[in-house]
Amino acid sequence: MDKRILVTYASKHGATAEIARTISDVLAVDGLRVDLLPMDMVSDLSGYEAIVMGSAIYMGRWLKDAVHFLKKYELTLASRPVWLFSSGPSGEGDPVELLDGWRYPILQEDLIRRINPRDMAVFHGKLDPEELGLFERMVIKGVKAPVGDFRDWELVTEWAQGVAAEMQSELHTESFSAST
């Protein structure tokens, strides 16, 4: 199978990278040819049939590397099947509810709509004060953010399996199409 899938991510302290790794592993187990790369290491999308990309969320925003990636590759992303994920809210409950209905990175809503992703998942994140700088520790203390690893690996795996199933069904056609 020569059709390649890119799983790419922007991660500040490694938690989003671990989610991307899990997604990549699920896609690979399903027989897809997957490359896993941080966004700042991606220089060309021409060899990829589909892209799964994600970023950590900080104060409602994706990381700068992710925003730069969206802008740089907007036309290419809009022409391929794309799945997006975000990680970041800590605590119990629905991550979208914890973020007051947040679905898209602040200031990037129009750009993401133009890209027209197949799906966009929001996963719980991990907040470990030992991995944070002084300013970040002061902020989480000030806003009383829940500390701990709140990632739901079963949910991440389930979402990735759905992505894999959709990709596999389309691999039997000539190529992916950008929209369903």
Segments making up each domain of the chain, as ranges: 4-171
Query: Mind listing the pLDDT tens digit for each residue in 86-123?
Result: 987 555 555 455 555 555 566 678 888 899 999 999 88
What's the sign of the alpha-carbon dihedral 152, 53, 66, 121? negative
Residues 6+ apart with CB under 8 A from 18: 11, 151
pLDDT score recorded for residue 150:
78
Quote the pTM value: 0.84
pLDDT score recorded for residue 180:
47
CATH topology of domain 4-171: Rossmann fold (3.40.50)
What's the sign of the alpha-carbon dihedral 170, 152, 133, 58? positive
* DSSP H or E run through 77: helix 74-78
pLDDT score recorded for residue 100:
52
- What average pLDDT does this structure show over 37-52? 96
Question: Which one has a higher pLDDT value, 5 or 104?
Answer: 5
- Percent of the chain residues past pLDDT 90, beyond the cut: 49
Of the listed ranges 12-21, 50-59, 70-79, 90-99, the one predicted with least confidence:
90-99
pLDDT score recorded for residue 1:
46
